[in-house]
Amino acid sequence: MAERPTRGVPPRRTRRVEVADRPRRAAWEVLKAVRVDGAYANLVLPAVIDHFGLDTRDAALTTELVSGTLRRRATYDAIIAACADRPLTKIEAKVLDALRLGAHQLLSMRVPDHAAISTTVDLVRSLGNRGAGGFANAVLRGVSEHDLVSWLARVAPDPVTDPTGHLVTVHSHPAWVVDQLRQAVGEAELPALLAADNERPAVTLVARPGRATRGELPGEPTRWSPYGVVLDGGSPAAVPAVVEGRAGVQDEGSQLVAHVLATAGIEGQDRCWLDLCAGPGGKAALLAALAAQRDAGVLALERAPHRARLVARSLAGSSGVLGVVTADGTTPPLRPASWDRVLVDAPCTGLGALRRRPEARWRRKPGDLLTLVLLQRSLLASALDLVRPGGVVLYATCSPVLAETAEVVTSVLQRHPGAALVDARALLAEVPDCDGPLPGTVQLWPHRHGTDAMFLALLRRAD
């Protein structure tokens, strides 16, 4: 995602930054940009870190403060509510953000209590609200009286009488998301999945075949993707192959999506591959590298112009590229029945990638689901029109929500009697416990596989 990279961030050097604790002030600025401007934390962070001139250590502190505070918001809000003399709705939003930052330091980081409290009180005062300093002090002193485990025992609803409410507070997910994930993974594994969503994921890199090798990337090979390594610390930006575009940052689950599309058996010619929802271009770049090795090529289509530009950037220097087209994949300007392999990496709720997008769980709304499902059905139907008889379509989502996975595939297949599911699971035979909700489909999970919760369904068009 690369939209609005600096929204809400004051331009650099327009004013001197004179605040006592710059990492915490920087973290608060990111929370404000997320809250007020709808910014994406991971995109705003680099600009804010740059603006505040933070060194590597302080930048890491700011990043942890932001990600942890956004992830555990519901947990911290329940605890703050128990310590405040007024409801949360009566606390000024900018003060509440500061209190959440303080709670994260007190309950989940090794910051001494006195430092967490005094820096938060200073922060609240520096926001131009001197009167709120005393209030913040009182609330955070209350928060510091117990550790996280004892607080959860006090504030989380009873798991028997209110199982969803319990999980909402303990694992900090909205209730509707808990319910959707329960339907997808089942009650027994739900707590483990929710807990995994609050873990910081390892950074995985992909070596684009023919352009880079795993051996030149710093890290251990990924367990199942033949192209990946788990970065052993440090920044991807310091890896020459990444800087040169021969490698990239990509979750192992996403690498497996490209792998399955490329390795599915088809009869006849195998030259024309299509990525129908390509932005920002991570999978298209891996597919292009794989296609180039067999004299095939990938056409990347994307509706949003700024994301199509990111696709073009991601594909720069690749062979195996037929072009980048900005168009609506539901009414594409392409000849039907003419593509050998088609990827529909559909726009989705992203509820399988919550580890990477700490604020996404709060931004998504239940009403988004229906709109997305209708679009997903249209895109998959369009892909089945575009693929040639005997060719394959891979439908993928980074969401395990059944409405976006099994239900989309089932409903589209009912209208396309010439298409049928084929076995994607067999192409990932070495990956354990990844059976999807329909026969032959695959569902990866953060708590089982350490990947995003990617869903894969492979379809073949017979006529």
Residues 305-324 that bind ligand SAM (CB under 6 A): 307
Binding test (CB under 6 A) with ligand SAM, winner from 39, 83, 178, 278: 278
What is the smallest separation between the CB atom of 327 and ligand SAM, expressed in angstroms?
7
Interface segment toward ligand SAM; rule CB under 6 A; list 272-280, 316-324, 415-423, 435-443: 272-280
Q: Is 277 in the site for ligand SAM (CB under 6 A)?
A: yes
Give the CA distances from residue 96 to residues 69, 346, 361, in Å, rounded to whole numbers and listed in that order: 11, 36, 19
What is the smallest separation between the CB atom of 307 and ligand SAM, expressed in angstroms?
4
Q: Is 329 in the site for ligand SAM (CB under 6 A)?
A: yes
Q: Is 297 in the site for ligand SAM (CB under 6 A)?
A: no
Q: Are 62 and 54 in contact (CB under 8 A)?
A: yes
Binding test (CB under 6 A) with ligand SAM, winner from 23, 280, 400, 440: 280
Residues 195-234 as x/- pattern, contact with ligand SAM by CB under 6 A: ----------------------------------------
- Total number of residues that touch ligand SAM (CB under 6 A): 19
Q: Which is nearer to ligand SAM, 192 or 249 (CB)?
A: 249
CA 12 to chain centre: 28
Q: Is 8 in the site for ligand SAM (CB under 6 A)?
A: no
| End-to-end alpha carbon distance in the chain | 37
By C-alpha distance, which of 411, 378, 390, 402 is closest to 459?
Answer: 390
- Check residue 454 and report its DSSP letter: -
Interface segment toward ligand SAM; rule CB under 6 A; list 10-18, 239-247, 325-333, 355-363: 325-333
Q: Give the separation between CA 132 and CA 102, rounded to whole angstroms.
A: 14
Interface segment toward ligand SAM; rule CB under 6 A; list 67-75, 139-147, 273-281, 450-458: 273-281
Record the tokens describing residue 84, joined without a space: 């405040």
What is the smallest separation between the CB atom of 329 and ligand SAM, expressed in angstroms?
3
What letters, b where the CB count within 10 A reaches 16 and e where it falls short, cover 296-316?
Answer: bbbbbbbbeeebbbbbbebbe
Name every residue whose Cβ is closer than 8 Å to that of residue 145 and which is 6 or more positions away in sequence. none
Residues 375-434 that bind ligand SAM (CB under 6 A): 375
Q: Which is nearer to ligand SAM, 282 or 450 (CB)?
A: 282
What is the smallest separation between the CB atom of 275 and ligand SAM, expressed in angstroms?
6
What is the smallest separation between the CB atom of 331 and ligand SAM, expressed in angstroms?
8
Length of the chain: 463
Interface segment toward ligand SAM; rule CB under 6 A; list 25-33, 109-117, 151-159, 279-287: 279-287
Binding test (CB under 6 A) with ligand SAM, winner from 219, 279, 358, 446: 279
Q: Is 304 in the site for ligand SAM (CB under 6 A)?
A: yes
**Where do the H-state alpha helices sit in 416-453?**
446-449
Give the CA distances from residue 292 to residues 311, 316, 338, in Å, rounded to whole numbers and listed in that order: 17, 14, 19
Interface segment toward ligand SAM; rule CB under 6 A; list 14-22, 101-109, 147-155, 278-286: 278-286
Q: Give the separation between CA 94 and CA 227, rounded to whole angstroms.
A: 44
Q: Which is nearer to ligand SAM, 106 or 375 (CB)?
A: 375
Record the tokens describing residue 324, joined without a space: 């980048």
Residues 233-262 that bind ligand SAM (CB under 6 A): 254
What is the smallest separation between the CB atom of 397 and ligand SAM, expressed in angstroms?
8
Q: Is 302 in the site for ligand SAM (CB under 6 A)?
A: yes
Q: Give the separation between CA 423 and CA 403, rounded to whole angstroms.
A: 21
* Neighbouring C-beta atoms of residue 186, cutoff 10 Å: 10
Q: Which is nearer to ligand SAM, 281 or 297 (CB)?
A: 281
57-62 LR contacts (CB < 8 Å, sep 24+):
58/22, 58/23, 58/26, 59/23, 61/23, 61/27, 62/23, 62/24, 62/26, 62/27, 62/30
Q: Is 326 in the site for ligand SAM (CB under 6 A)?
A: no
Phi then psi dihedrals of residue 156, to 5 deg = -75, 135
What is the smallest separation between the CB atom of 282 and ligand SAM, expressed in angstroms?
4
Q: Which residues are catalytic?
A: 398
Residues 330-349 as x/- pattern, contact with ligand SAM by CB under 6 A: x--------------x-x--
Q: Which is nearer to ligand SAM, 119 or 254 (CB)?
A: 254
CA 168 to chain centre: 20
What is the smallest separation between the CB atom of 446 and ligand SAM, expressed in angstroms?
17
By C-alpha distance, which of 419, 417, 410, 408 is closest to 386?
Answer: 419
What is the smallest separation between the CB atom of 358 and ligand SAM, expressed in angstroms?
18
CA max distance for the chain: 75
Q: Give the separation between CA 65 and CA 98, rounded to whole angstroms.
A: 11
Binding test (CB under 6 A) with ligand SAM, winner from 281, 352, 400, 450: 281
By C-alpha distance, which of 351, 224, 329, 241 is closest to 285?
Answer: 241
Residues forming contacts to ligand SAM in the complex (CB under 6 A) are 254, 277-283, 301-304, 307, 328-330, 345, 347, 375
